[in-house]
Copies of this chain bind each other. A is one copy, B any other.
């Protein structure tokens, strides 16, 4: 029997963390063959240098695709999607995969979904069916409507995908694949993390043995004009608290430039001995930093998903994650310095929460591979109602 070729496009360090256990399971499955593509932010130094000599974490890279137009605004986001569509079409036509994987709701994922479905290649979607703010909300459900097989991260999300008219037998709630990696970490061993965090990044020096904060604030594309104002509120709050802080740079969505500028201006004009900035962290390190933090602050989905699994107190700011299912560990606040500070204090007082398994139990990758090896795809989609 010939192996089924599964094409996995990795475009950010974040989705590498989510695809890692899936890729491992594909490689180990006798009926499957991995075709790894790397593109966009995953190729750029400024988003963290992690592709080396045609390899990504030990997996061989078939092809590298450049599609990010510099500018980080709505125009370049739209045009980058157009370029990505051209680039992935070329790559899929050359590799002839049996299935293409797509994930969540970034703009390039819409390009990947379109390139595959226009070439009649079956499309499997991870992390569909969730609800959030930003243009991500539109992208995520549009991808669902182009996908043939669904791997949502929660039962609730699986339910929504079926309500969207997808056949029940195409929806497999496997949990969040990012938890697979986190699940296998020895959380008590912080030594290697500490030394790496000391050597990398810019800013002050952070003592991970004290209570520390983890901050990640991405732009909100649908409130594009306000992103500078939003980051300034958060900066003010963190500056006032004067706690050790690990701060991750924003992603490359429209508005990223405004968020970065807020941070750069702050860095140039203040003394921040207690804060250190990183473009990004590998999932193995990120998981440990998150697990051991006193509180995660910002609007990253990991402040909802991974933090609930780990029981880490979270302060979620603004609308970017609105509607996404959250555990009891999350306190929501608007973009307001005082409210952000108050919520962080409240979470520090509360301390760690019990773990929540709404996003699965950390064994998703094997399930995805197993289902992929068996699934009978039908290329013609049809609403169930």
Contacts and interface: CB of A to CB of B under 8 A. Distances in A.
Interface string A289-317: 00000000000000000000000000000
A222 B120 CA distance: 6
- State the majority secondary structure of interface residues on A: helix
A142 B141 CA distance: 7
Given A222-B379, A383-B131, A81 B85 contact: yes
A348 interface: no
A221 interface: yes
Chain copies in the assembled complex: 4
Interface in A59-78: 63, 66-71, 74-78
Interface of A: 43-45, 63, 66-71, 74-79, 81-87, 89-90, 93-94, 107, 110-111, 114-115, 117-120, 131, 133-135, 137-139, 141-146, 160, 163-165, 202, 221-222, 224, 254, 257, 260-261, 268, 319, 322-323, 379-383, 385
Contacts of A120: 74, 135, 221-222, 224
A83 to B, nearest CB: 7
B75 A79 contact: no
A221 B300 CA distance: 39
Contacts of A69: 66-70, 83
Nearest to A323: B382
A260 B120 CA distance: 21
A117 to B, nearest CB: 6
A84 B260 CA distance: 26
Central interface residue in A82, A111, A268, A383, by most chain B CB within 10 Å: A82
Contacts of A137: 380-383
Contacts of A119: 74-75, 78
Contacts of A268: 202
A79 B66 contact: yes
B85 A160 contact: no
A252 to B, nearest CB: 8
A214 to B, nearest CB: 22
A75 B138 CA distance: 25
Contacts of A111: 82
B66 A71 contact: yes
Given A85-B85, A120-B222, A382-B323, A78 B115 contact: yes
A254 B118 contact: yes
Contact of A86 (B68, B86, B110, B257): B86
A177 to B, nearest CB: 23
Given A118-B135, A120-B221, A134-B380, 17 more contacts: A43-B70, A66-B71, A69-B83, A74-B120, A79-B89, A82-B83, A82-B85, A117-B135, A118-B221, A138-B381, A141-B383, A145-B145, A160-B165, A163-B163, A202-B268, A222-B380, A319-B380
A230 to B, nearest CB: 15
